């Protein structure tokens, strides 16, 4: 029994040392110095290559470390920096390097309300940690697949939704799932809020009924 415990302790110690070495190598792998300009640019388009204008491109910065309690790497203190795409879908981030952050991503999003709070509906994402750690300007094209959904969301957020839709949105925020027959809001549609355990059903934009179901808690 003692031998097994000793072997297990040796294995855990070895893994810990290896993780520390990896973390140290990652910390010293960046080729930027504190305060250096980091340029990240690209173009946002749909599947057909057409430019998508007026969407937000978020530069997401996180501090990632090994969490010994959960025995896995976790990201904390995430910072989101937004810019808006131009008429030809271009975006540009000019960020000053800060050695505290070691995990980087780009996300294409649209500002929404969720649970009464400001948030973003993310439509595309790209990890760029390796590119930035090479110390070179990053050119990252981003593609949004769900263009029809984006069109519906914009129509809704631009105030072209019905009075009932606007009231539910202000109360509950953007639904977790949307089932709609048409992008222009006609026909039947259903807005699902999993954690609240409610689905709102509309007919041509008018609230028809609210159905309860067993709430679904988000996976942590």
Q: How confident is the model at residue 27 (pLDDT cuts 50, 70, 90)?
A: very low
Residue 67: what pLDDT?
64
Q: Please tell me the distance from the alpha carbon of residue 127 to that of residue 61, in angstroms, as a whole number.
A: 11
CA dist., res. 161 & res. 174, Å (int):
13
- CA–CA separation, 91 vs 120, rounded Å? 17
Per-residue pLDDT, 84: 97
The 3 state secondary structure assigned to 152-189 is: HHHHHHHHHCCHHHHHHHHHHECCCEEEECCCCCCCEE
How far is the C-alpha of 20 from the C-alpha of 164, rounded, in Å? 55
31-145, CATH topology level: Immunoglobulin-like (2.60.40)
pLDDT in tens, 72-131: 666 677 899 999 999 999 999 999 998 899 999 999 999 987 767 788 989 999 999 998
Q: What is the predicted pLDDT for the residue at 137?
A: 81
Q: 26 falls in which pLDDT band (50, 70, 90)?
A: very low
Kindly indicate the confidence band of residue 66, based on its pLDDT and cuts at 50, 70 and 90.
low
50 or 162: which leads in pLDDT: 50
Q: How far apart, in whole angstroms, are the C-alpha atoms of residue 57 and residue 143?
A: 11
pLDDT above 80: residue 54: yes
Q: Where are the domains of the chain?
A: 1-29, 31-145, 149-212
pTM for the model = 0.67
The string of pLDDT tens digits covering residues 169-218 is: 888 887 888 887 765 657 888 999 999 999 999 998 899 999 999 999 87
């Amino acid at each position: 029994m003692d031998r097994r415990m000793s072997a297990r302790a040796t294995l855990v110690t070895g893994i810990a040392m290896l993780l520390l070495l990896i973390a140290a190598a990652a910390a010293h792998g960046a080729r930027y110095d504190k305060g250096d300009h980091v340029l990240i640019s690209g173009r946002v388009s749909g599947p057909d290559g057409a430019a998508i204008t007026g969407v937000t491109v978020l530069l997401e910065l996180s501090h990632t470390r090994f969490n010994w309690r959960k025995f896995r790497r976790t990201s904390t203190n995430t910072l989101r920096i937004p810019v808006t795409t131009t008429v030809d879908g271009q975006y540009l981030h000019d960020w000053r390097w800060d050695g505290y952050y070691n995990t980087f991503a780009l996300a294409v999003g649209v500002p929404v309300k969720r649970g009464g709070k400001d948030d973003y509906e993310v439509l595309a994402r790209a990890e760029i940690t390796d590119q930035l750690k090479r110390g070179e300007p990053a050119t990252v094209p981003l593609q949004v697949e769900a263009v029809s959904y984006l069109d519906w969301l914009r129509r809704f957020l631009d105030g072209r939704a019905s009075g009932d839709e606007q009231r539910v949105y202000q109360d509950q925020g953007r639904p977790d799932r949307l089932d709609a027959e048409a992008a222009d809001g006609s026909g039947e549609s259903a807005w699902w809020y999993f954690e609240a355990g409610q689905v709102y059903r509309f007919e041509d934009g008018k609230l028809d009924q609210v159905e309860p179901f067993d709430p679904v808690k988000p996976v942590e």
